[in-house]
Amino acid sequence: MLRTRGLTKRFGGLTAVDDVDFELASDELCSLIGPNGAGKTTFFDLLTGALAPTEGTVELRTDAAEGGDAWRDLTAAPAHEVAQLGVHRSYQVTNVFAGSTVLENVRVAAQAAGGDGTNFWRNAGQLDRYIEEAYEVLDRVDLADRAEEPASALSHGAKRQLEVGVALAGDPDVLLLDEPNAGVSSESVDRVVDLIEDVATDHAVLLVEHNMDIVMEVSDRVVVLNQGSVIADDEPSAVRDDPAVQRAYLGGYEPGSAGGDDPHADADTGSDGGEPA
């Protein structure tokens, strides 16, 4: 569904993503894990057009629904074009319009995904279509009953649900979720996890998550980055038991020991600070 070949990003003399070959299937929930500075957020930025790679390619299978095998090169595509082609993302830091209603956050995202983000002369029929889509998304993320509330009134966990809703707007083929449980209270984690699993039933999902219990529970496959390179790519149990992964990241992890406070869970700096994440 989405793949990279030789994907590399350098910031001066620092290689943040190093010659990564990766492929995400259309029916797959793949988790991307690794220590801080491993390159996870930089990799997301490369996939979504927020950063241009130094070397390598990013490609999207454009006719996956028909079982075809035509790949479209996204390597030089800007972020808005990548989104319109069906690759959407959420962010580590809560990224909603706090002064707008819950409904408007999703409606604007749906409108942008439909190519009408700057079309102020749209007719009422078009607007109604986006509002209807927004309500369908809000129903899915369990926020339909709060549609008319300002986003600022939501709890942090509910804002994370809204962020997933914004990413779902426009019916993407691929969803990249960057730490959707970051900062979420223990009472809300199960709700967000259930939402991730639901979304993965009809989207290809790439998930960055620091809570290893969640990773082991929801993932079909786990890819481990360390210093920008892939050091493991396998089913969760095999990755958990991999000695290289234990040395680089897990450090003796056992199921049930992760809780919500992972020692590597400080926010990655990503491209905002000019450093790898």
Asked if residue 24 and residue 56 are part of one domain, the reply reads yes
- Residue-level pLDDT at 221: 96
Asked if residue 179 and residue 165 are part of one domain, the reply reads no
Taking alpha carbons only, the member of 54, 37, 95, 215 closest to residue 205 is 215
- Residue-level pLDDT at 19: 96
Cα distance between residue 80 and residue 83, in whole Å:
5
Domain contains 268 = yes
105 is in which domain, residue-wise? 96-171
Half-sphere exposure of 59 toward its Cβ, with a 13 Å CA cutoff? 18
Is 82 in contact with 48 (CB distance < 8 Å)?
yes
Q: Is the dihedral of CA 78, 84, 90, 94 positive or negative?
A: positive
- Residue-level pLDDT at 275: 39
Asked if residue 156 and residue 262 are part of one domain, the reply reads no
Asked if residue 167 and residue 187 are part of one domain, the reply reads no
Cα distance between residue 108 and residue 77, in whole Å:
22
Asked if residue 82 and residue 216 are part of one domain, the reply reads yes
**Letter string b/e over residues 186-211, b meaning 16 or more CB atoms within 10 A of that residue's CB:** eebbebbbebbeebbeebbbbbbbbb
- Residue-level pLDDT at 272: 37
Taking alpha carbons only, the member of 45, 44, 21, 13 closest to residue 31 is 44
How is residue 248 annotated by DSSP?
Answer: I
Residue type (1 letter), 171:
D
Per-residue pLDDT tens over the stretch 260-271: 444 444 334 344
Flag residues of the chain having pLDDT under 50: 120-121, 124, 259-277
Asked if residue 114 and residue 57 are part of one domain, the reply reads no
Cα distance between residue 42 and residue 18, in whole Å:
11
Cα distance between residue 93 and residue 160, in whole Å:
9
Per the DSSP assignment, residues forming a β-bridge with 10 are 15
CATH of the domain at 215: 3.40.50.300
Q: Which of 140, 171, 202 is the last residue of a domain?
A: 171
Q: Which of 171, 190, 217 is the last residue of a domain?
A: 171
The label of the residue with tokens 């993965």 reads: 200
- Residue-level pLDDT at 174: 94
Reduced to 3 DSSP states, what percent helix, strand and coil does the chain have, rounded to the nearest 5? 35, 25, 40
How is residue 262 annotated by DSSP?
Answer: -
3-class state of residue 195 by DSSP: helix
Domain contains 256 = yes
Domain contains 34 = yes
Per-residue pLDDT tens over the stretch 93-144: 667 888 899 999 999 988 887 766 555 445 545 678 889 999 999 999 999 9
Task: Evaluate if pTM is beyond 0.85.
Answer: no
Asked if residue 25 and residue 151 are part of one domain, the reply reads no
Domain contains 91 = no
Asked if residue 66 and residue 189 are part of one domain, the reply reads yes
> In the chain, how many domains are there?
2
Residue type (1 letter), 202:
D
Is 226 in contact with 38 (CB distance < 8 Å)?
yes
